[in-house]
Amino acid sequence: MRPFRVEAPQGVLVPVEELRQHVRVDTNEQDSLIEAYERSAVDFLDGYTGRLGRCILRQKWALPLVANPEAMFLPFPDCREFAIERLDDQGAWAQVAGVTVTQMEDYALLVDLPSDQTGLHLTCWAGWKSANDVPENLKQAVRLLVAHWFDNRSAVSTGQAPHQVPMAVDAMIAPLVHVFV
């Protein structure tokens, strides 16, 4: 089963004022577009299905428990603050008491799980605590993506060669990419 996000990250990775300067816009008339590109760039890179394969800003994820597991592989390299929680039919979360979760390198050991595991999930937090903690190369990758999309707003380029996502983005994020095996 795939993990899913329970709580989205809060805040902005790169402020619109920085992005405005990066794309060489002097007024705030296009701020909503620039902010949408920033959110899209973060979504493109962030989370389980993003290019990074890890979380950028702090967010909560859940992994469904299947077949009485004693251990579960962790979806991100920086998982922390683990709990076993039950998701009820109304979508409410409740922590299950008495379960011990011990983090090993890339997996968690689960001890004293209840016999009824209906709706049980391993939950964890992942991502940098604030935008100030995020490595500068990752913020620069977001700036490059925003500038690329700002300059190339159409799906098709007329009168010029097609543009791909800048290779510099791949170079910027390469040291941070989490590869699943």
pLDDT tens-place string over residues 20-42: 999 999 999 999 999 999 999 99
Instruction: Let me know: does 82 contact 88? Beta carbons within 8 Å.
Output: no
Whether residue 65 is contained in a domain is answered as: yes
For residues 42 and 159, what is the distance between their CA atoms, to the nearest angstrom? Answer: 30
Distance of CA 145 to the CA centre of its chain: 16
3-state secondary structure of 131: helix
DSSP secondary structure code for residue 175 in this structure: G
pLDDT tens-place string over residues 56-77: 999 999 999 988 889 999 999 9
Model pTM? 0.85
Q: What is the mean pLDDT of residues 115-121?
A: 92
Which of 103, 126, 149 is the endpoint of a domain?
126
The answer to whether residues 72 and 48 belong to one domain is no
Sign, Cα dihedral of 168, 169, 172, 178 = negative
Which of 109, 126, 143 is the endpoint of a domain?
126
In the structure, what pLDDT confidence band is assigned to residue 165 with cuts at 50, 70 and 90? low
Count the domains in the chain. Answer: 2
In the structure, what pLDDT confidence band is assigned to residue 181 with cuts at 50, 70 and 90? very low
The answer to whether residues 110 and 121 belong to one domain is yes
